[in-house]
Structure 1
Amino acid sequence: MIRLAGIGDEAGPSLAEQVAAVTGLGWSAIELRTVDGVAVADLTDAAFDAVAATLAEHGLDVVCVDSRIGDWSSEITDDFSHDLDELRVLAARCRALGTRYVRVMSYPNAGLPPAEWERRVRRRLRELARRAEQSDLVLLHENCAGWAAADADRMLALVDDGLGLLFDTGNGIAHGYSGVDLLAAIAPHVRHVHVKDGRSGPQWTVPGRGSADVPGALSLLAAHGYTGALSLEPHLSMRPHERDGRPGEVEGFHAAGRALEALLAVPVPARSEA
């Protein structure tokens, strides 16, 4: 069974808003990125304990924690110790939250020659994946920023290095490639999915109304037996990583969630591979 979840801070910065957004849709799973604008790894112990207690009180499972490791805010030449420290903190916090999945990316370049960029990225991610495995975690690489951001062969190389894959249906809109074509090459290795839709610009809209071909992506995932979570990241009223949007707006989140439910309720035709 596919499970529906949502990245909470897409609906509002406070945990109360995030919980209201997800439970208001009748869903029982959430993905954590920030609370009150603070990354999960940077929360004080007291703040994190309050988050975990509140989620448990509302019966919300955590399907994934989104780290900053290798993401758009970093470069491959940054101090690696910061990533090791973040993973160490998240290992304990993911255990408390009952999730094994940690989202990572693959380090934007900082002017290095391509071969050296690849060498450094893969060395770092192999080490991180090794440490994650020791803590019973799985690192999931998202098709967003870094060396393997939009290249299926590079993503599959990271699978060989011990990572899983996280597919975002809308990232191709922002970065200029066909997300469904990418998915066709990596679908057997996808372990988690973010759902958003939009048109060039980018201009974001609810799932099914943009040019990301979300129905086609859902069809491909179903054809490959995907049974993980679909985690809503609509980018409509809140885009915390871009520091815009207006706090406290859950209406757009709910509209996107209902649109996703509608897509799942209607069988979509199989996508031709021709």
Structure 2
Amino acid sequence: MIRLSAFADEISADLEEQIAVLKQEGIHYIELRSVWNTNVLHLSDEQLATIKQRLEANNLHVAAIGSPIGKVPVTAPFEEHMYQFERALIVARRMETPYIRIFSFYPPENEHERYRSEILQRLRSLADRAQEQGITLLHENEKLIYGDTIARNVDLLSTLEHPHFRAVLDPANYLECKQVPFPDAYTAIKPWLAYVHVKDVTHDGTLVVAGEGEANWPALLEQLRTDGYDGFFALEPHLAAAGQYQGFSGAALFRKASQSFQHLLKTMHWEYR
């Protein structure tokens, strides 16, 4: 059965408000990206323990770690980034999730081909290390990273062909890169698809709730169901702000995004948890 999750820091920086809204919306999973205005990789062991205890007490589980790994220039030292990645692996194990969301580095403008080999080498190192820990990396097609377009994303996925390096489908991100999320992107990355992010954008770049933009969510959902998708749909609406490292909606707008997406699922009678 498909499951709903959410980047709960879109609701509030406060953990208790995040939990309250998720419970009101009937969402049982969280994408752990930040709490108390602190990025997930900078949370202390004590803070992680508190988060885990409060989530478990409210029947909530961590679907994925929303890490910023790979969201740095490819020219930055890799050893320092690997140190951060080790922390991401520790956090994933402590929060009992098999997934870490990552990116594929920022190449200098118009120098994608020059840095392709370096990026592939870095991603393979990350994926190999993740495999050792039983963790799967979820690559998000974020704007301006190497794998932001359909062609470059497929290049990464097919060249690596790594069981612990899988694809996120983020339709709005593809639209922001002038790509067609459905059917083009979906069809291209389908062999590696493991996760879906839920947000939408209009032709003028305004972020809106799923179904009100250009992502063609109803058709995408129908195809996903036909193809047997049974993973997560992670709400990441960015309705109030969209920054480099995280977006924000606030409680009211997050509820609107949640209810709009759940309405799409209910309309097509697709059961979810």
Task: Establish whether TM, by shorter chain, passes 0.5.
Answer: yes
Shift of 1:242: 6.2
Partner residue of 2:82? 84
Aligned equivalent of 2:216: 213
Deviation at 1:40? 0.9
Deviates more, 1:138-147 or 1:105-114: 105-114
How is 1:251-266 mapped onto 2 (pairs within 5 angstroms)? 251-266=252-267
Partner residue, 1:148: 147
Please report how far the alpha carbon of residue 251 of structure 1 lies from its aligned counterpart in structure 2 after TM superposition: 1.0
Q: TM-score, normalised by structure 1?
A: 0.89
In structure 2, how many angstroms separate the alpha carbons of the residues matched to 1:214 and 1:188? 20
Residue aligning to 2:174: 172
Pick from 123, 128, 134: which aligns with 1:136?
134
Q: Distance in 2 between matches of 1:111 and 1:260?
A: 35
Match of 2:187 in 1: 184
Distance 1:68 1:176 in 2: 23
Aligned residue type for 2:256 = A
Aligned partners of 2:248 and 2:129: how far apart in 1?
36
Distance 1:59 1:82, change over 3 A: farther
In structure 2, the CA distance between the partners of 1:191 and 1:93, relative to structure 1 (3 Å rule), is: same
Report whether the alignment pairs 1:250 with 2:251: yes
Q: Give the corresponding residue for 1:104.
A: 102
2: CA distance, partners of 1:173 / 1:149: 10
Q: Are the structure 2 counterparts of residues 120 and 17 from structure 1 closer, same or farther at C-alpha, using a change threshold of 3 Å?
A: same
1:224 matches 2:227: yes
1:153-164 counterparts in 2 under 5 A? 153-157=154-158, 160-162=161-163, 163-164=165-166
Using the TM superposition, give the Cα deviation of residue 225 of structure 1 relative to its aligned residue in structure 2, in angstroms: 1.2
Work out the percentage of aligned pairs sharing the same amino acid.
29
Q: For the Cα contact (< 8 Å) 1:147–1:154, is it kept in 2? A: no
Q: Is the 8 A contact 1:150 1:177 kept in 2?
A: yes
The whole-number CA distance in structure 2 between the counterparts of 1:70 and 1:174 is: 19
Unmatched segments (≥5 aa) in structure 1: 269-274
CA RMSD of aligned residues (A): 2.0
CA contact (8 A) 1:76 1:117 kept: yes
Read off the aligned partner of 1:229 and give its amino acid letter. F
Pair 245,125 (structure 1): closer, same or farther in 2 beyond 3 Å: closer
Q: Secondary structure at the match of 1:209?
A: coil
Q: Equivalent residue for 2:20?
A: 20
Shift of 1:169: 2.2
State how many pairs are aligned: 264
Q: 1:241 to 1:96 in 2, by over 3 A?
A: same
Q: Give unmatched runs, 5+ long, in structure 2.
A: none
